[in-house]
Amino acid sequence: MLKAKGYAAATATSSLAPFSFDRRDPLDHDVLIDIKYCGICHSDIHSARDEWGGSLFPMVPGHEIAGVVTAVGRAVTRYKVGDAVGVGCFVDSCRKCAPCRAGLEQFCAEGPTLTYSGIERDGKTPTQGGYSDKIVVNEDYVLRIPGNLALDAAAPLLCAGITLYSPLKHWQAGPGKNVAIIGLGGLGHMGVKIAHALGAEVTVLSQSLAKRDDGLRLGADNYYATSDPATFKTLKGSFDLIVNTVSAPMDWNQYLSLLAVDGTMVLVGAPPAPVPVAAFSLISNRRSLAGSLIGGMRETQEMLDFCGSHNLACDIEVIPIQKVNEAYERVLKSDVRYRFVIDMASLKTS
């Protein structure tokens, strides 16, 4: 076994603290990755606080992992020592079910093996995530990070990037499409960049105008405050696609009224409590309410290559791991521009 160091939550009510644990030695098809950076996703906070239920403790969160290959199993063909690689929200899946065969491993019928708060396919070993110094992953669940992207700014692409790229592609954001992104946070700011790069007209719907200059700089054409009731009158019936990244309770009916005929609102934000939807919010304008979950391996690589070719990565604030608990509190206050990324070199001083 390999000795690993990280930060873990011991229970749903404890702060993250230094934690030592074992990683398996790389098996034939495994890659050993020296983790350089890991993004802080809002899902890490939901999970570490068990807000969705089912969390496993102790938990080393982190599924926006960027690092460098330091060893490979003897059957590995896709990666070599020194390669810049990433790991996202899952590290394995059954590989046999229809979604797995279609490259939609995130919807694996058996459930994908989550990067943390999951159980390995041996049925017993808990998985631990990227707030740590190293990780061992089967090569089929490792991604290649384009050489022109800095590892720290690329790390959040592994969750925030693919979570927005996948629905924007699926619902065909592009020239002539009017797309709104609700919430300019970690996911939302990548939504703006990617939708703009795909050629869509992009509108940010934020709680206030405080981040307006940033939104326009990131590629938005329009920016509205949802705290202003006039916004909902002005924009009624305008959007072909709305991607909702908000995890707090909000009135979805109000936002559905902004959809044009045949428009779709896609939920990627995951509020723990159910939200009521009125039938007429959907019946009018033949609207759809949909959801989307990260993306499969093939599409995640496509997203990374797309970002590489458009020289597109995340706007980040790099922090030492000792500041992780403080960073969680700032994410909860929407005080992040626009993703915290942990510099794993700081673990050495922990």
Which residues are at the interface with Zn ion (CB under 5 A)? 41, 43, 93-94, 97, 100, 108, 159
Question: Which has the closest alpha carbon to 267: 287, 249, 285, 293?
Answer: 293
- 6 DSSP 8-state letter: E
Residue 186 interacting with ligand NAP (CB under 6 A): yes
- Could you tell me which stretch among 14-22, 124-132, 296-304, 330-338 binds ligand NAP (CB under 6 A)? 330-338
Mention every residue, 6+ apart, whose C-beta is less than 8 A from residue 138: 27, 29, 30, 31, 91, 92
Cα torsion angle, 129, 130, 134, 135, sign: positive
Q: What does 93 interact with, of Zn ion, ligand NAP, none (CB < 5 to 8 A by kind)?
A: Zn ion
Nearest partner of 336 among 38, 42, 14, judged by Cα: 42
207 binds, among ligand NAP, Zn ion, none (CB under 5 to 8 A by kind): ligand NAP
Min dist CB 26 to ligand NAP, Å, is 28
Per CB under 6 A, 246 contacts ligand NAP: yes
The binder of ligand NAP chosen from 247, 264, 281, 300 (CB under 6 A): 247
User: What minimum distance in Å lies between the beta carbon of 151 and ligand NAP?
Assistant: 19
End-to-end Cα, the chain, rounded Å: 22
What does the alpha-carbon distance between residue 208 and residue 185 come to, in Å, rounded to a whole number? Answer: 13
Which of 187, 192, 289, 312 is in the footprint of ligand NAP by CB under 6 A?
187
Candidate list 55, 113, 163, 300; residue touching ligand NAP; CB under 6 A: 163
How many angstroms separate the Cα of 301 from the Cα of each of 29, 86, 136, 157?
19, 10, 19, 10
Query: Which partner in Zn ion, ligand NAP, none is near 100 (CB below 5 to 8 A by kind)?
Result: Zn ion
The option from ligand NAP, Zn ion, none interacting with 246 (CB < 5 to 8 A, set by class) reads ligand NAP
Strand 239-244 and strand 259-267: the pairing is parallel
Regarding 294 and contact with ligand NAP (CB under 6 A), the answer is: yes
Q: Between 86 and 188, name the residue whose CB sits nearer to ligand NAP.
A: 188
Of 258-287, binders to ligand NAP (CB under 6 A) are 268-270
Q: Which two tokens stand for residue 212?
A: 């307006």
* Residue 331, binding choice from Zn ion, ligand NAP, none, Cβ under 5 to 8 Å by partner class: ligand NAP
Q: How far is the CB of 124 from Zn ion (least distance, A)?
A: 19
Nearer to ligand NAP, 159 or 256 (CB): 159
Fill in the amino acid letter for 133: D
Size of the site for ligand NAP (CB under 6 A): 29
Sign of CA dihedral 175, 177, 182, 187: negative
Q: Residue 224 corresponds to which tokens in the numbers above?
A: 């509205």
Is residue 254 a contact partner of residue 242, using CB atoms and an 8 Å limit?
no
In the bound state with Zn ion, the residue whose beta carbon lies nearer, of 33 and 259, is 33
| Partner whose footprint covers residue 33, from ligand NAP, Zn ion, none (CB < 5 to 8 Å by kind) | none
The full DSSP string for 26-75 is P-TTEEEEEEEEEE--HHHHHHHTTSSS---SSB-----EEEEEEEE-TT
Taking CB under 6 A as the binding criterion, the range among 91-99, 229-237, 240-248, 310-318 that sits at the site for ligand NAP is: 240-248
Beta strands in 226-346 (DSSP E): 239-244, 259-267, 288-291, 316-320, 339-343
Q: Toward ligand NAP, which CB reaches closer, 46 or 323?
A: 46
Partner from ligand NAP, Zn ion, none binding residue 108, C-beta < 5-8 Å depending on class = Zn ion
Q: Which of residues 72 and 143 has its CB atom nearest to Zn ion in the complex? A: 143
CA dihedral 260, 264, 268, 273 (to 10 degrees): 90
Binding site for ligand NAP (CB under 6 A): 41-43, 46, 159, 163, 183-188, 206-207, 211, 245-248, 250, 268-270, 292-294, 331, 334, 336
